[in-house]
């Protein structure tokens, strides 16, 4: 196949009313990409000269997405004339008039259609010299789909949409998958003479194949062996079904690549995620966006991770992590919340009930428990005591704090930004640090403890505390 003689049209003009959504159907996501994104990735991987998504409903939103992520695609806009045939006609008007290669037509709501299936379809089309080649599927319940009608010898005759079909034709369970390859010149000529004489008043692309048959041109209907690759999405139930199947296949592919996934049914991995060998994913793990995990790391159970880079041999347990970096051998969780801008160095630790944001934590440094670290930088080998709060907001602006290397801070500290704590310094338990601490110094708030004798007996007479105090005093 010569890629320079190939154009791919992706139909994305429909309203998708059965989704019952303000969002266009093709912009609903599975496995980290909008449905249209899956279709355009596949189209792009074919190496075609022209990739043409056709838009109409909420065209501005869809066009913005296409322009941002598929800048080489040519966006075509369908006019008021409805139907798939008209959509393809508009796409052909967007590419050079002298293009005479093969035209692949697919849909923006068929996310599992893969390159191998399309390449086989294209090769079959080119080798046979057919004017059109299309994919079909045999379904147990063909309701709602156009039926593929063949003659007694099994040759393709026509496609009948369900609303136009007779009772006998509706019993046919071979359906049109909505994926085609056409000869460009023949396609242009056939579309020019295609009308809208049907129950919907639309210009159907399926009429083109029928016209080829009537004019004695070859049309091949090729049945897929895996119906999932042509599974279309019309409502949210189907969206969930296809998402589940795609995710199970993603998990299976990673298992075969050397990743241990204990429970694929509860593990979700976006197509944009990258995993190293000997990574272990525990149950309840969700890996999203452009997350990468290096070899030997263990993620989960119950981790949601988005756009995060994890080094080798790291461990993340019961945590929510977004836009962060976790170094080699580092550990996170359980019950940790890493917000964007968190950078945990090698062998570092972010422990139980710790929240971080825009924080760089050096190699070997630890924030073990019950702390908030925001807008801060911590050097290497430091330990942040339990219950420490980096108070980074003064009510108007946020400020940054710096903690040096090999610092030891006490429990229940508050660091009021902006401050700097020098290398090797200590802070005492319960200290509120409001000014810089020199290297090697200890910061503490000196305030003598004062005990008011018999306060409970005087202020809480008759209480359980008062009774306990009286008993203790009498026992002396």
Which tokens is 276 given? 């190293």
Structure tokens that stand for 19 in this block: 């989704």
Helix (H, G, I), strand (E, B) or coil at 402: strand
- Count Cβ atoms below 10 Å from residue 96 Cβ, excluding itself: 10
Q: Is the peptide bond before 323 cis (omega within 30 degrees of 0)?
A: no
Omega before residue 428 within 30° of 0, cis: no
Tell me if residue 395 falls in helix, strand or coil. coil
Structure tokens of 368? 């073990």
Dihedrals φ, ψ of 293, to 5°? -130, 120
Helix-strand-coil percent breakdown of the chain, rounded to 5? 25, 30, 45
The span from the CA of 280 to the CA of 340, in Å, is 24
- Name the phi and psi angles at 24, rounded to 5: -55, 145
Q: Does the annotation mark 369 as catalytic?
A: yes
Containing 87, the helix (H) or strand (E) segment is: helix 84-93
CB atoms within 10 A of CB 68: 8
Strands (E), 112-225: 132-138, 147-150, 156-160, 174-183, 219-223
- 223's tokens: 């049945």
Strands 349-361 and 280-281, by their bridges, are unpaired
The CA distance from 297 to 279, in Å, is 5
Q: Residue 246 and residue 127: Cα distance in Å, rounded?
A: 31
CA distances in angstroms from 3 to 50, 90, 220, 240, listed in the order given:
10, 22, 21, 34
Rounded CA separation 109/21 (Å): 15
- Dihedral sign for Cα 158, 164, 168, 169, please: positive
Q: No. of H helices and E strands in the chain?
A: 10, 36
- Tokens describing residue 226: 């895996």
Catalytic residue among 28, 38, 186, 369: 369
Catalytic residue numbers?
Answer: 369
């Amino acid at each position: 196949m010569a890629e320079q003689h190939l154009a791919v049209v992706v139909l994305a003009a429909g309203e998708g009313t059965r989704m019952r959504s303000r969002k266009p159907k093709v912009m609903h996501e599975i496995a980290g990409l909008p449905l249209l994104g899956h279709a355009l990735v596949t189209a792009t991987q074919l190496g075609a000269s022209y990739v043409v998504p056709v838009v109409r409903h909420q065209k501005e939103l869809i066009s913005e997405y296409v322009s941002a992520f598929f800048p080489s695609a040519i966006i075509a806009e369908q006019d008021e004339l409805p139907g798939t045939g008209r959509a393809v006609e508009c796409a052909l008007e967007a590419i050079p008039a002298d293009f005479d290669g093969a035209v692949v037509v697919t849909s923006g709501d068929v996310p599992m259609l893969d390159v191998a299936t399309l390449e086989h379809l294209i090769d079959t089309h080119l080798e046979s010299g057919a004017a059109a080649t299309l994919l079909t599927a045999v379904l147990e319940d063909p309701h709602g789909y156009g039926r593929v009608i063949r003659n007694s010898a099994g040759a393709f005759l026509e496609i009948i949409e369900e609303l136009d079909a007779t009772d006998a034709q509706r019993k046919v369970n071979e359906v049109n998958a909505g994926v085609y390859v056409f000869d460009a010149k023949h396609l242009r000529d056939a579309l020019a003479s295609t009308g809208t004489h049907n129950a919907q008043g639309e210009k159907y692309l399926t009429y083109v194949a029928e016209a080829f048959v009537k004019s004695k041109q070859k049309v091949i209907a090729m049945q897929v062996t895996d119906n999932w690759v042509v599974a279309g999405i019309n409502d949210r139930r189907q969206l969930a079904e296809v998402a589940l199947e795609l995710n199970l296949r993603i998990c299976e592919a990673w298992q075969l690549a050397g990743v241990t996934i204990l429970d694929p049914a509860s593990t979700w991995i976006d197509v944009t995620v990258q995993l190293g060998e000997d990574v272990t994913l525990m149950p309840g793990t969700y890996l999203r966006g452009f997350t990468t995990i290096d070899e030997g790391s263990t993620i989960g159970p119950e981790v949601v991770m988005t756009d995060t880079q994890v080094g080798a041999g790291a461990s993340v347990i019961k945590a929510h992590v977004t836009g962060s970096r976790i170094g080699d051998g580092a550990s996170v969780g359980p019950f940790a919340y890493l917000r964007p801008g968190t950078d945990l160095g090698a062998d570092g630790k972010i422990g139980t009930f710790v929240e971080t944001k825009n924080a760089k934590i050096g190699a070997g440094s630890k924030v073990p428990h019950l702390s908030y670290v925001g807008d801060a930088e911590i050097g290497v080998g430091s330990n942040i005591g339990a219950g420490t709060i980096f108070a980074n907001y003064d009510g108007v602006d946020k400020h940054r704090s710096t903690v040096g290397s090999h610092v030891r801070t006490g429990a229940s500290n508050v660091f009021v930004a902006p401050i700097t704590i020098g290398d090797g310094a200590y802070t005492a338990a319960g200290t509120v640090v409001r000014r810089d601490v020199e290297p090697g110094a200890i910061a503490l708030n000196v305030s003598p403890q004062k005990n008011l004798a018999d306060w409970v007996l005087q202020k809480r007479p008759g209480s359980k505390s008062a009774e306990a105090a009286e008993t203790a005093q009498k026992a002396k």
